[in-house]
Amino acid sequence: MLDYDFMRHAFAAAGIVAVVGGLVGYFLVLRAQTFAGHALAHVGFTGATGAVLVGISPLAGLVLLTVAAGIGMGFLGERLAERDVAIGIVLAFSLGLGLLFLHFFTAYAAQATALLFGNVLAVSGWTVWTLLGLGIVTIAGLAVISRPLLFASLQPELAEAKGVSLRLYGVLFLALVALATAECAEIVGVLLVFALMVGPPATAQGLTSKLGSGLLLSVLIALAEAWLGITLAYYTDWPSSFWITTLSAAAYLATRPKISFARA
């Protein structure tokens, strides 16, 4: 199946995005900010449809608007309860706005589906290079701030007392989440970003309590799910996003039988 260009592109794109999603997602789960990641993806939908409307590439619109929204969300405030309400409102509004943009382009129903649910088999060679560039920027940024970010995530009050700015790292991190979200959306679509950014790290955190192994495992699980999903899509002709999300959910549930039964 790797004889085809589109399959090679799909594997490369999914591989890059899985590594980014697995790493950034690990911190997202650790910080209990998965809802923010979800909302950023929806904002990305507005960005992408808006970009089509003004005639620039959807990926550019996706990246620009999610990063702007991530930074804005970071500044919004620290109080969790308030943050969730604010995020929820931004989320609904941006989806509505995206729908309006789409309304002007009724001919592009296929494009909308691709944005919402992803279509990794349609990724071009140029997109792969763009994803690689974005991925390197995201991972480099995460590497630079990972130490104070970890401290601020685990023990905010102590970190603040030791001179770590919670606001600064909160904003920087959400900007990185926004970048990662935009990349994931390219593979699984804005609605299913959770499958790559939350599923693998959550599964990894259930399997190991060590930080280093957790990060590594999170990346490996994301890679396995993405590549296996594409392979299954190739042979079954079902959507790759369906397979990736299914694998993501299955891995999560399979690794924590106690929780899935006790709380179901």
Partner 1 sequence: MSEAADAIAFENVTLALGGRAVLAGVSFAIRAREFVGMLGPNGAGKTTLMRAVLGLLRPQNGVIRVLGRPSTHGNPAIGYMPQIRSRVAGLRLSGWDFVAATWRGHRLGLPHLGRDGRREVAWALEMVGAQDLAHRPLAETSGGEQQRLLLAQALIGRPRLLLLDEPLISLDPHRQREVVALARSLQTELGIAVLFSAHEINPLLGAIDRVLYLGQGQAALGTVDEVITGPVLSRLYGAPIEVVRLGGRIFVMSDGHDMERDMHRHDTAHAGCHDPSHEIHHA
Binding-site member from 15, 47, 148, 170 for partner 1 (CB under 8 A): 148
Provide the minimum distance between the beta carbon of 238 and partner 1 in the complex, in angstroms, as a whole number: 33
Among 144, 167, 238, 260, contact with partner 1 (rule: CB under 8 A):
144
Least separation in angstroms between CB 221 and partner 1: 15
Which of 147, 167 has the CB closer to partner 1?
A: 147
Binding positions for partner 1, 189-228, rule CB under 8 A? 205-206, 209-211, 214
Q: At closest approach, how far in Å is the CB of 109 from partner 1?
A: 42
* Residue 30 binds to partner 1 (criterion: CB under 8 A): yes
Q: How far is the CB of 169 from partner 1 (least distance, A)?
A: 10
How many positions of this chain bind partner 1 (CB under 8 A)? Answer: 29
231, 227, 208, 214: CA torsion to nearest 10: -170
Residue from 46, 66, 146, 240 in contact with partner 1 (CB under 8 A): 146
Rounded Cα gap, residues 186 and 30, in angstroms:
24
Alpha carbons 208 and 138: distance in angstroms, whole number: 24
Spatial separation of the C-alpha atoms in residues 94 and 134, rounded to whole Å:
23
Minimum separation from the CB atom of position 146 to partner 1 (A): 6
Determine which residue in the list 32, 99, 140, 254 makes contact with partner 1, applying CB under 8 A: 32
C-alpha dist (Å) from residue 222 to 67, 153, 155, 173, 237: 23, 22, 27, 20, 21
Verify binding: residue 79, partner 1, rule CB under 8 A: no
Those residues with Cβ within 8 angstroms of residue 113's Cβ, 6 or more apart along the chain or in another chain: 119
Q: How far is the C-alpha of 12 from the C-alpha of 142, rounded, in Å? A: 21
In whole angstroms, the minimum distance from the beta carbon of 53 to partner 1 comes to 40
Interface with partner 1 (CB under 8 A), residue from 2, 54, 107, 161: 161
Tokens, residue 44: 């990305």
Nearest to 91 by CA among 52, 21, 41, 49: 41
- Structure tokens that stand for 166 in this block: 């919670």
d(CA 102, CA 116): 12
Least separation in angstroms between CB 84 and partner 1: 15
Regarding 22 and contact with partner 1 (CB under 8 A), the answer is no
What's the CA gap between 229 and 204, in Å, rounded? 18
Binding site for partner 1 (CB under 8 A): 30, 32, 143-148, 150-164, 205-206, 209-211, 214
